[in-house]
Amino acid sequence: MNYIGENLLAGQIGHFFALLFLVASLFSTVAYFKASRLQDLVERKIWLRLARIGFALETVGVLAMFFTLYYIISHHLFEYKYAWSHSDRSLQVEYLLSCFWEGQEGSFMLWSFWHCVLGWVLIWKSKDWEPGVMTVISFAQFCVATMVMGVYFFGIKVGSSPFTLTRNEITAPIFSMPNYLTLLKDGNGLNTLLQNYWMVIHPPILFLGFASTIVPFAYAFAGLMRKNHDWTKPAIPWAAFSAAVLGLGVMMGAAWAYESLSFGGYWAWDPVENASLVPWLTLVAGLHTNLVYKNSGYSLRPTYFFYIISFVLVLYSTFLTRSGILGDTSVHAFVDLDMNTQLVLFVLVFFLPAMYLYIRNYKSIPAVIKEENVYSREFWIFIGSLVLFLSGMVIISKTSVPVFNKLFGTHMSPPEDAEFAYNQIQVFVAIVIGLLTALTQYLKYKDTPKAFLGKKIWIPTLIAVLISVSISLFGNINFDKKGPGFLFAIHMAIFAAVYAVVGNIAYIWLGLKGKIKAAGASVAHIGFGLVLVGILISSSKKTVLSWNTTGVSPLRVNPKEKNGATGDPAENITLFKAVATDMGKFMVTYVSDTLNAKDRKRYFEIDFKAKDGSEGFKLYPDVIKQNKGGEGFSANPAAKHYWYKDIFVYITSFQENTQPDTSSFKKYQLSVHDTVFYSNGMIILNKVSKNPAELKTKYAEDETALFMDMTVVAKDGRRYTANPGVAIKGLTELRQIPDTVQSQSLVFLFNGAPDQGSDKFKIGIKESGAITDLITLKVYEFPMINILWIGVIIMVIGFIMSIIQRVKRTPGYLKPVS
């Protein structure tokens, strides 16, 4: 059949360049490998040139694929499945790129793009390491290329192409019409969660972080092949770069989670977060042992191991997030594209040869026989690296429970309090790492004179003790939900983290004599310490402001159940439009809401006024209607930022008054046991009682309250209760307490007690399509969260400083190889 209006050329171009990418990367791998094995300089040069041509061609392939896919998405060519399932016409221009990383294929292309960039820097800089290192990178490119192929190889699907046609992938009646494109007017759109500015910047940074872990790995692999360990020097700035970018990428993900996800925080130990944190931990461990080797000759063997495992863990995290295996435990996971075997192979094809070479050459990797001195820097850096590595192993093992389930057919699932299961262990890691970060810089390599140590260390120690004790005493760190032991650990960790910050600030003067240029490591450590301080304070002092005391059901007031499900805080509070509601120290009003046509979000204006009149502000949390068949909405939080805390609010549900509310209250006079009818059933007044205990939360202690007890019987037999009431304070102040039966759209008002000589109570009943506009929201306070973000920035600055310093120190390193 000839279909009308399809742009088939774009797809053909895409397929062609995908094939070029695959073939060129394979060619480049072989040529680089050949060059790395040849001793003869002339021949080696020929192969090297061929390999570079291959790499240039694969770069062309990757870029062309990128532009082709961008063309398809930006021109809304919905005949292509990628555009149809990941974009639509209403999408803002800035989010067109985000469509790339909504699907697996696009994110693999992003990964290969960064491989190309890194590869060219390596070709420029890595001199005689180029053949070995680039063999690994070209091979990785080949593996990624197979992921975006989408061909069947002996009946097995290899990869998934972004250039497939919608009509070839989906069977639907409309594809029997030649002019189906005139009907296929719009795509499915980009997941609303990704329509956030962090999602434009976070994935590219994170993928650069992921991709860059291959460089230390490739150096280590090439070192094992050549049995030459000089790579450890050029690898240091690469490892530092990778740690900086990966760390930044992970924390940008945390910022995205904080700003746009509604799980009420920046970190939830979600499997996908863990899977990208763990390679960072092992990479930082490797960077430190690498420095130890360069300065003391110790720790070369662990350096190899850490660099190998970091990249393998990146591949493993790719497997976790893309195989669909996390389906039950994570919100992040990509759709399962039936590529599990291929993804497992992707991990093994790097892990097995690297471990084989490592184990076979283990004995020949030089190691110092003499034991490390306990007063030496190398000893404690090694211990710190080991702790980082093992903490990463513990995290990834816990994260891998779904994998164990799959392998052994078990049905284990995360513990009752999954986050605490991580926190209770990692808080001790924070203590150890904090202390080591604070102290280790003061030790010298080989041996430290004890007099030197004693002289330098007491000032920062004293300052850190003073600061952390005052935080402990006056900071109200009273996170006692998990018992005194954990609270004590938090206080210890706060001390260790403060000590890390103070110790490293002081070291810039005491150890480096104020030479800021040489202080990259110290600055990075200060940033890391601040990150720890920020995490500890903001999480242990996170408080719920929207603590709800209204409408507490009798079920909840069960003191025995304090730690059970019913003892949990009721975190949602209901706001009616234009009615000020009491929320702790604030009066909160839902003022209005507007639908923004451009970004299709509904913004709610929430007015906060402190009861003591000290402050007032407005917040605009929003909701965006879900696409892709979802009927609800996803909520984007809003936060009021102070330097010392954030007030963080998000909408958990909203109800809109769709039709104008024309109905008014009908007045009735009822005696006890009287019945009235409404459109869908009847209403019985059972009794009227004074100050009923079960409704105690609805009136104040100094008020006298009268409540009606009414039963609504709907036609379908369901029964509801309603308790409208009045509360009287003194002689003049009268307050009505209306009640509603939402599902029957009924509102009840207690209009008055019987007149003299009558036993009929006055009641107002309103029946309407929708009762009123209302929202429910949660409000949290995160203290000191800015320390965390500032810490991340300082840490990255520190990494950059030390990279610049190291690159400058290498003579001729900035000159390109001729």
CA 550 – CA 570 distance, rounded (Å): 9
- Residue closer to another protein by CB (options 166, 802) is 166
- Residue closer to another protein by CB (options 211, 623) is 623
- Distances in Å between the Cα of 503 and the Cα atoms of 176, 386, 403 are 72, 21, 41
Segment 189-228, which members bind another protein (CB under 8 A)? Answer: 191, 193
Binding letters toward another protein, positions 357-376, x by CB under 8 A? --------------xx-x--
CA 442 – CA 362 distance, rounded (Å): 32
- Residue closer to another protein by CB (options 19, 184) is 184
Considering only residues 46, 96, 158, 394, which one is a binding residue for another protein as defined by CB under 8 A? Answer: 394
CA 317 – CA 38 distance, rounded (Å): 35
Residue type, 533: V
Segment 681-740, which members bind another protein (CB under 8 A)? Answer: 718, 739-740
- Residue 773 beta carbon to another protein: minimum distance, rounded to whole angstroms: 11
Element (H, E) at 405: helix 401-408
- Residue 597 beta carbon to another protein: minimum distance, rounded to whole angstroms: 22
Asked if 547 contacts 585 with a C-beta cutoff of 8 angstroms, the reply is: no
Considering only residues 522, 574, 636, 786, which one is a binding residue for another protein as defined by CB under 8 A? Answer: 574
CA 288 – CA 283 distance, rounded (Å): 9
Total of residues contacting another protein (CB under 8 A): 82
* Cβ-proximal residues to 455 (8 Å cutoff; 6+ apart), any chain: none
- Residue closer to another protein by CB (options 568, 694) is 568
User: Of 390, 46, 352, 313, which Cα lies nearest the Cα of 221?
Assistant: 352
CA 651 – CA 542 distance, rounded (Å): 18
- Stretch of 132-140, 249-257, 329-337, 433-441 contacting another protein, by CB under 8 A: 329-337
Q: How many other CB atoms sit within 10 Å of the CB of residue 525?
A: 25
Q: Which residues pair with 737 in a beta bridge?
A: 725
Asked if 312 contacts 213 with a C-beta cutoff of 8 angstroms, the reply is: no
User: Of 622, 586, 624, 623, which Cα lies nearest the Cα of 607?
Assistant: 586
- Residue 362 beta carbon to another protein: minimum distance, rounded to whole angstroms: 15
- Residue closer to another protein by CB (options 180, 241) is 180
- Residue closer to another protein by CB (options 374, 817) is 374
**596 lies in the binding site for another protein (CB under 8 A):** no
- Distances in Å between the Cα of 85 and the Cα atoms of 94, 179, 204, 214, 287 are 18, 20, 21, 31, 41
- Stretch of 36-44, 229-237, 567-575, 661-669 contacting another protein, by CB under 8 A: 567-575
Residues 274-288 as b/e (b if ≥16 CB within 10 A, e otherwise) read bbbbbbbbbbbbbbb
- Residue closer to another protein by CB (options 130, 593) is 593
* Cβ-proximal residues to 376 (8 Å cutoff; 6+ apart), any chain: 296, 443, 444, 445, 446, 447, 448
- Residue 170 beta carbon to another protein: minimum distance, rounded to whole angstroms: 5
Segment 397-426, which members bind another protein (CB under 8 A)? Answer: 397-398, 401, 411-416, 421, 425
Considering only residues 53, 365, 393, 463, which one is a binding residue for another protein as defined by CB under 8 A? Answer: 393
The tokens for 739 are 């009640």
- Stretch of 345-353, 389-397, 477-485, 519-527 contacting another protein, by CB under 8 A: 389-397
- Residue closer to another protein by CB (options 328, 447) is 328
Considering only residues 4, 177, 516, 814, which one is a binding residue for another protein as defined by CB under 8 A? Answer: 177
| Furthest C-alpha separation in the chain | 118
Considering only residues 108, 139, 350, 379, which one is a binding residue for another protein as defined by CB under 8 A? Answer: 379
- Residue closer to another protein by CB (options 7, 652) is 652
Tell the burial category of 620 from Cβ atoms under 10 Å away from its Cβ (0-12, 13-18, 19+). middle
Asked if 718 contacts 686 with a C-beta cutoff of 8 angstroms, the reply is: no
Segment 269-328, which members bind another protein (CB under 8 A)? Answer: 327-328
CA 800 – CA 797 distance, rounded (Å): 5
Vertex 43: Cα angle to 38 and 49 (nearest 5): 100
- Residue closer to another protein by CB (options 472, 655) is 655
Segment 445-504, which members bind another protein (CB under 8 A)? Answer: none
CA 733 – CA 507 distance, rounded (Å): 66
Segment 547-566, which members bind another protein (CB under 8 A)? Answer: 548, 550-553, 555-556, 564-566
- Residue 633 beta carbon to another protein: minimum distance, rounded to whole angstroms: 6
- Given the structure tokens 């995908």, which residue do they identify? 18
Segment 737-766, which members bind another protein (CB under 8 A)? Answer: 739-743
User: Of 708, 709, 783, 780, which Cα lies nearest the Cα of 750?
Assistant: 708
- Residue closer to another protein by CB (options 492, 526) is 492
- Residue closer to another protein by CB (options 7, 548) is 548
Considering only residues 151, 390, 453, 676, which one is a binding residue for another protein as defined by CB under 8 A? Answer: 390
- Residue 260 beta carbon to another protein: minimum distance, rounded to whole angstroms: 14
- Residue 281 beta carbon to another protein: minimum distance, rounded to whole angstroms: 13
- Stretch of 126-134, 622-630, 656-664, 666-674 contacting another protein, by CB under 8 A: 622-630
User: Of 33, 260, 59, which Cα lies nearest the Cα of 145?
Assistant: 59
Considering only residues 120, 486, 620, 633, which one is a binding residue for another protein as defined by CB under 8 A? Answer: 633
CA 716 – CA 713 distance, rounded (Å): 8
Segment 757-816, which members bind another protein (CB under 8 A)? Answer: 771, 774, 776, 778
Considering only residues 8, 170, 352, 595, which one is a binding residue for another protein as defined by CB under 8 A? Answer: 170
- Residue closer to another protein by CB (options 177, 516) is 177
Residues 548-576 as b/e (b if ≥16 CB within 10 A, e otherwise) read beeeeeeeeeeeeeeeeeeeeebbbbbbe
- Residue 208 beta carbon to another protein: minimum distance, rounded to whole angstroms: 24
- Stretch of 380-388, 507-515, 613-621, 782-790 contacting another protein, by CB under 8 A: 380-388
Considering only residues 160, 321, 634, 786, which one is a binding residue for another protein as defined by CB under 8 A? Answer: 634
- Residue closer to another protein by CB (options 48, 429) is 429
CA 636 – CA 617 distance, rounded (Å): 18
